[in-house]
């Protein structure tokens, strides 16, 4: 079973060309302070190999993709397998991000299939969940997130779930500049950990790193990360500037 780690993961989304991506990775490598915090760079597919060369000597710096296909291979034009990701030094994959759910119609059944494939290829899935604004306003956030967690993860064994990372990302906070309050984040993270405890037991629940995502920036990271059940962040916009991303890591 895995030990709970503090993690700061960047999600570059569909930003930066190849040279810009390499230059961002180099800037991070140059100024990253040694620490126990696991730092993950979620780069576009095309950057993965180049970035993997740049970060390979740094102990706590790892590489993530932002998606993978659920099949092992075959006639799926334009898609990428989990095995391909492993083969270029990628160790993590973000799955179930709200933008994948919203723009590419991904549901929790498909996300579960992707998680299974990713683990079979030796990748650690970063499973994303989170409610939209109307659900939050109706006070239904726990019902929505609970359903996502159950549908995507409850078909797995405790052993399999212990090798995942979860990111709670309220959709209304992503890219909006509006951040969940530390209390709102803590409440949901504790709820998710409670679900894991009921289904998979204390050891899995305790060992799970649950990251908060949604407009994390240097100014709010420390307070968010200081919450008991917030084990780090999944950072979009602020991960595109080395200085901001490093400041967020430092606040861990
Ligand atoms: P944001 O994105 O930090 O730009 O809000 C977070 C995410 O989508 O992972």
Atom of ligand 1 nearest to the CA of 213: 6
Among 8, 9, 215, 241, which residue has the most ligand 1 atoms within 8 Å of its CB, making it the best to mutate?
215
Ligand 1 pocket, mutate which of 7, 11, 241 (most atoms under 8 A from CB): 11
Give the CA diameter of the chain: 48
The phi-psi region of residue 81 (left if phi > 0; otherwise alpha if psi is between -120 and 50; otherwise beta) is beta
239 within domain boundaries: yes
Question: Can you name the residues that pair with 167 across neighbouring β-strands?
Answer: 128, 211
Phi and psi angles of residue 2, each rounded to the nearest 5 degrees, phi first: -85, 150
75 alpha carbon to ligand 1 midpoint, in Å? 32
Give the total number of structural domains in the chain. Answer: 1
Distance 170 CA to ligand 1 centre (A): 10
- Please tell me the residue having the least CA distance from ligand 1 atom 1: 236
Res 2: pLDDT: 62
Distance 121 CA to ligand 1 centre (A): 26
Q: Output the six-digit token pair for 1.
A: 């079973």
The pLDDT score that the predictor gives to residue 57 is 87
Report yes or no on 210 lying in a domain. yes
Written as one string, the DSSP assignment of 173-192 is: GTTTS----HHHHHHHHHHH
Residue 115: give its domain's CATH number. Answer: 3.20.20.70
The Cβ-side half-sphere exposure at 211, using a 13 Å CA radius, reads: 32
Q: What ligand 1 atom has the least distance to the C-alpha of 234?
A: 9
pTM: 0.97
| Number of the ligand 1 atom closest to the C-alpha atom of 98 | 8
Residues spanned by the domain of 98: 7-251
The rounded distance, in Å, linking the Cα atoms of 21 and 46 is: 10
- 234 within a domain of the structure (yes/no): yes
Ligand 1 environment, Cβ below 6 A: 11, 169, 174-175, 213-216, 234-238
Q: Residue 65 domain-assigned?
A: yes
Residuewise pLDDT in 10s, the chain (252 residues): 567 999 999 999 999 999 999 999 999 999 999 999 999 999 999 999 999 999 988 889 999 999 999 999 999 999 999 999 999 999 999 999 999 999 999 999 999 999 999 999 999 999 999 999 999 999 999 999 999 999 999 999 999 999 999 999 999 999 998 899 999 999 999 999 999 999 999 999 999 999 999 999 999 999 999 999 999 999 999 999 999 999 999 999
Task: Give the span between the Cα atoms of 16 and 240, in whole angstroms.
Answer: 8
Query: Does residue 143 belong to any structural domain of this protein?
Result: yes
Q: Whose CA is nearest to atom 3 of ligand 1?
A: 236
- Cβ atoms < 10 Å from Cβ of 163: 16
Q: What single DSSP character describes residue 154?
A: T
Structure tokens that stand for 54 in this block: 């740049």
Could you tell me if residue 2 is inside a domain?
no
Domain presence at residue 213: yes
Token digits of residue 144: 């929505």
pLDDT the model gives residue 1: 53
- Ligand 1 center from residue 233 Cα (angstroms): 9
- By annotation, the residues acting in catalysis are 97, 169
- Which residue has its alpha carbon closest to ligand 1 atom 9? 236
Q: Token match 């970035």: residue?
A: 51
How many angstroms is it from 61 CA to the middle of ligand 1?
Answer: 19
Instruction: Characterise 193 by phi-psi region: left (phi > 0), alpha (psi -120 to 50), beta (else).
Output: alpha
CA-to-CA distance for 151 and 78, rounded, in angstroms? 27
Let me know if residue 1 belongs to a domain: no
């Amino acid at each position: 079973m895995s030990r709970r780690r503090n993690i700061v993961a960047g999600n570059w989304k569909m930003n930066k060309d190849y040279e810009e991506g390499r230059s961002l990775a180099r800037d991070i490598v140059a100024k990253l302070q040694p620490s126990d915090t696991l730092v993950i760079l979620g780069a576009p597919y095309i950057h993965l190999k180049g970035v993997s060369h740049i970060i390979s000597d740094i102990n706590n710096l790892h590489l993530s993709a932002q998606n993978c296909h659920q099949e092992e291979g075959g006639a799926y034009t334009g898609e990428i397998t989990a095995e391909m990701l492993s083969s270029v030094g990628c160790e993590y994959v973000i799955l179930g991000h709200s933008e994948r759910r919203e723009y590419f119609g991904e549901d929790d059944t498909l996300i579960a299939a992707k998680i299974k494939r990713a683990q079979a290829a030796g990748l650690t899935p970063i499973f994303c969940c989170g409610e939209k604004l109307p659900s939050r306003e109706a006070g239904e956030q726990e019902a929505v997130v609970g359903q996502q967690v159950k549908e995507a993860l409850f078909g797995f064994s405790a052993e399999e779930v212990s090798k995942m990372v979860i990111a709670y990302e309220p959709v209304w906070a992503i890219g909006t500049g509006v951040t969940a309050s530390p209390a709102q984040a803590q409440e949901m993270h504790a709820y998710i950990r409670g679900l894991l405890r009921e289904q998979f037991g204390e050891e899995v629940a305790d060992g799970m790193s649950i990251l908060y995502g949604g407009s994390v920036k240097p100014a709010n990271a420390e307070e968010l990360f200081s919450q008991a059940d917030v084990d780090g962040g999944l950072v979009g916009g602020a991960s595109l500037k080395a200085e901001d991303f490093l400041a967020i890591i430092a606040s861990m």
